[in-house]
Structure 1
């Protein structure tokens, strides 16, 4: 009997754990041709999420948990799940019910047909602001144009991974993680299901615009050097235009002279060149910062307590 594991990172999800368990129980009980287990990763929650997980664990030993020592972030929590999961495949999903469990059997069907990575593409993004929706789509377009690999637009972490994909992702131990990019980077045969993303069941998302912006920067700087290339091209272009302008001023001064004027022009040029230099330094700093973090070679996460599912 094949074993299917479900990995669920949790941060302050005390009001959603019970509803999620009820929905997953129906899926697991209705597909008894497989052996099931669920691994919930408590990512430093400050509410009663761990208490709720333990309560469910006490009545259903198919449920296991990992309690991280602090909040390491969703990307690192998923790695903790990959390191400790035991199934022949693993399904990654969120705890807030935005990833509908009823899609899971469809994922399994494609997996049985030979697909190693079955990803879920959103047909709609649920209750989401106009700005957030279009900024997300714009980000995917930018990443798709700049990355040296295929990028799956409008696809999140909701997916099924075969054991060979799990083992491949486990080898990638970088501390600055962007898992959506890692899933594309490892390759393997990919299949697609579509779903309508639901609204969050309870509570509010921990991803503010600032955190989403940081995640976007993480994705761009982790999987493409395009910003460095753009900085180089801008530097060459500005230098070329400066040389042309220098010759223009030189010839004009020789032919017709030049009175003492041009203060606004000088200020504009100085500010423009200064801005280009600061932008370039900032881009270089982003990449250098990632080198700094990787050279520390710290563990990606620390476990305070865990109970493996049976």
Structure 2
């Protein structure tokens, strides 16, 4: 049985896999006990799965999971966590932005008694100012609104004790924000600061739309403040309507001024309509997640599993 399990999701990463395996295997060779490398193919369309099969044939430490279609990064990581057998689990990305060479530093903190060691970014190499600004703003807004203490500037690159992973595997929710769930379970946690590298090769998989979707998912999963916001908007519009009614009454009784014209009516209608649509949209986000949860579909489906002993199961 391995003591260490490395979980790496990959999606159309054929250009990164050789360098990824070379660097990760070098780290695994230096560990003080047996390690396994779990690579999850998230429905790739290139030669990624073929390369994973080849690595599995060459190295019995390599385990690969092939998802039947693209389920997304968070579900791919979840699949890997379901299959780990080690006492210590390290999650990192397959684009080499999370340096595998930092794994011994994470293990040193685990040996000091920490159950979760999350890598906290201090610098983002070769990322545009707009992306950095959005990430900086999102993490701080989420930290203020969430009902748990969520660390800022952290991704999925982390080390987790087996006890933490067992709890994560027991959580049945479909819309998963793993870095939030990791904080929610508690235990002793500590940050490890690092400079995030640029992508080794290939194109960025987390587009702005996907990043925005993950941000909304994290906000809805760990805060009910958006629901309260719709209530506050309704109260504000009601107070504003009362104030305007009093002003109109004052102008008609005590002055000769009258409010006429289409513009005033149009502005009031558009304002009330915007409040209503925002409130319905916020409510719809929460109802949509309830709908996804009550269907009780499996989180993912597997088409192929490469196991330790060289056995390949097709489902």
Residue 270 of structure 2 corresponds to: 271
Question: d(CA) in 2 for partners of 1:268 and 1:289?
Answer: 31
Question: d(CA) in 1 for partners of 2:182 and 2:55?
Answer: 31
1:132 paired to 2:131: yes
Question: d(CA) in 2 for partners of 1:309 and 1:273?
Answer: 61
Question: d(CA) in 2 for partners of 1:168 and 1:20?
Answer: 29
Shift of 1:216: 1.0
Residue 192 of structure 1 corresponds to: 191
Give CA-to-partner distance per residue, 1:170-218, whole Å, 9 cap, x none. 1112111111111111111012212211111110111111111111111
Residue 17 of structure 2 corresponds to: 17
Note the residue ranges of structure 1 that are not aligned, 5 or more in a row. none
TM-align CA RMSD = 1.4
Shift of 1:24: 1.3
Give CA-to-partner distance per residue, 1:99-130, whole Å, 9 cap, x none. 10110001111111110001111121111010
Indicate conservation of the 8 Å contact 2:91/2:157, yes or no.
Answer: yes
Residue 83 of structure 2 corresponds to: 84
What SS class does the counterpart of residue 126 from structure 2 fall into? coil
Question: d(CA) in 2 for partners of 1:2 and 1:24?
Answer: 15
Q: List aligned pairs for 1:42-81, cutoff 5 A.
A: 42-81=41-80
Distance 1:289 1:111, change over 3 A: same
Indicate conservation of the 8 Å contact 2:53/2:306, yes or no.
Answer: no
Indicate conservation of the 8 Å contact 2:2/2:36, yes or no.
Answer: no
Question: d(CA) in 2 for partners of 1:298 and 1:11?
Answer: 23
1:180 paired to 2:153: no
Give CA-to-partner distance per residue, 1:240-270, whole Å, 9 cap, x none. 1211211221233233455471421111111
Question: d(CA) in 2 for partners of 1:265 and 1:9?
Answer: 55
Residue 242 of structure 1 corresponds to: 241
Question: d(CA) in 2 for partners of 1:54 and 1:245?
Answer: 70
Give the 4+ runs in structure 1 shifted more than 6 A: none
Question: d(CA) in 1 for partners of 2:107 and 2:34?
Answer: 13
Shift of 1:2: 6.7
Question: d(CA) in 1 for partners of 2:305 and 2:184?
Answer: 30
Residue 207 of structure 2 corresponds to: 208
Question: d(CA) in 2 for partners of 1:199 and 1:256?
Answer: 67
1:306 paired to 2:309: no
Question: d(CA) in 1 for partners of 2:225 and 2:46?
Answer: 41
Q: Which moved more, 1:242-251 or 1:167-176?
A: 242-251
Indicate conservation of the 8 Å contact 1:181/1:223, yes or no.
Answer: yes
Distance 1:180 1:144, change over 3 A: same
What SS class does the counterpart of residue 19 from structure 2 fall into? helix
Residue 253 of structure 1 corresponds to: 252
Note the residue ranges of structure 2 that are not aligned, 5 or more in a row. 310-315
Distance 1:199 1:223, change over 3 A: same
What SS class does the counterpart of residue 166 from structure 2 fall into? helix
Q: Which moved more, 1:193-202 or 1:59-68?
A: 193-202
Shift of 1:279: 0.8
